[in-house]
Chains A and B, each alone.
Chain A
Amino acid sequence: EVQLVESGGGLVKPGGSLRLSCAASGFTFSSYSMNWVRQAPGKGLEWVSSISSSSSYIYYADSVKGRFTISRDNAKNSLYLQMNSLRAEDTAVYYCARGALDSSALDYWGQGTLVTVSS
C-alpha cells in the first residue's frame, strides 16, 4: 500500500524557516517524481514544487521561487521542502504527492501538514 506521511509543520514567525519532510513507503520511491502542493485555509489547491526521480529536474511555482528548496533522499525514501523567508501568505496545509509514471497526474497524496506563519 502506497503511504506518504508528511511532518515538520508548525507555527513560525514571518521571515522564519521550516523544513517539511515526507516519508514514503509501499512503492519504489526512486522511480517516481514527487511534488509539494499546498492549500491555504478555505482556498483551493496550489502546486508548489516538483522534483524528478533522480533530482535532475526541479521546478518551482513563482510564488515560492528563491525561498523554497525541494530535495529528496532516495536511500531514505524521503522528500523534503526547505522553506525560508516565510510570509503570512505561505500559511497552508502542505501535501506531498507522487507523480504518476505515465502522466502529469498526482496519483497518491499524503494527509498534509499545517504550516502557520504568524507573529
Chain B
Amino acid sequence: QSVLTQPPSVSGAPGQRVTISCTGSSSNIGAGYDVHWYQQLPGTAPKLLIYGNSNRPSGVPDRFSGSKSGTSASLAITGLQAEDEADYYCQSYDSSLSGPWVFGGGTKLTVL
C-alpha cells in the first residue's frame, strides 16, 4: 500500500488530454511538501518530468503540466502522443516517516 495513491491506469486517444491524480494526506502533500512526477518508458529508468509541483526540467515538452491543491496533485498531458505511453509516478516527502521520500504506486498510461 503506497503512501501516495494513484489510479492504476488511464488511457486516451492521440491528441486528447489526460490527467493522473496523486492523493496524499496531511503528513505529506497536505503539509505543503512539493510533489514531483516521473515518467518511466518501457524497459528504461525513470526520468524526472515535473518538479516542485509544476516546473518542467529543460527538455520536457510543455504538453506536460503539474498542479497541486490541498492533499492532492495532478499531472496533465495534452496533445497525447504514442510515445507518451509509459508508467508515471508521483513522489513527495512525508514528515511522519523515518524514511521520508515516498512514491505513488504508479499509473500506466495507454495511448489508444
Of A44, A59, A103, A105, the residue contacting B99 (CB under 8 A) is A59
- Alpha-carbon distance between A104 and B36 when the two chains are bound, in angstroms: 8
Contact residues of B between 25 and 80, Cβ < 8 Å to A? 33-34, 36, 38, 40, 44-48, 51-52, 57
Alpha-carbon separation in the docked complex, A100 to B100 (Å): 15
Q: Judging by beta carbons under 8 Å apart, are A104 and B33 in contact? A: yes
Q: Give Cα distance in the complex from A108 to B47, angstroms.
A: 7
Closest Cβ of chain B: how far from A78's Cβ, in Å?
18
Give the number of residue pairs across the A-B interface with Cβ within 8 Å: 78
| Contact of A109 with B46 in the complex, beta carbons under 8 Å | yes
Q: Say whether B103 contacts A105, CB under 8 Å.
A: no
A35 an interface residue at 8 Å Cβ cutoff? yes
- How far, in whole Å, are A97 and B89 apart by their CA atoms in the complex? 15
Range of interface residues on A (Cβ < 8 Å)? 20 to 34
Q: How extensive is the interface on chain B, given as a class?
A: 20 to 34
Task: With a 10 A CB-CB cut-off, give which of A60, A62, A104, A112 has the most chain B CB atoms.
Answer: A104
The interface residues of chain A lying within 8 Å CB-to-CB of B92 are 104
Asked whether any CB of chain B lies closer than 8 Å to the CB of A110, the reply is yes
Is A29 interfacial (CB 8 A cutoff)?
no
Residues from chain B with Cβ under 8 Å of A107 in the complex: 48, 51, 57
**Does A67 sit within 8 A of B, measured CB to CB?**
no
Within 8 A of B (CB), among A15-54: 35, 37, 44-47, 49-50
Q: Contact at A105–B2, with CB atoms within 8 Å?
A: no
Query: What are 19 A-to-B residue pairs whose CB atoms are below 8 Å?
Result: A37-B46, A44-B87, A44-B106, A45-B38, A45-B40, A45-B89, A47-B91, A47-B99, A47-B103, A95-B45, A100-B51, A103-B51, A104-B33, A104-B36, A104-B101, A106-B38, A109-B45, A109-B48, A111-B45
A residues bordering B, Cβ < 8 Å? 35, 37, 44-47, 49-50, 59-62, 65, 95, 97, 100, 103-112
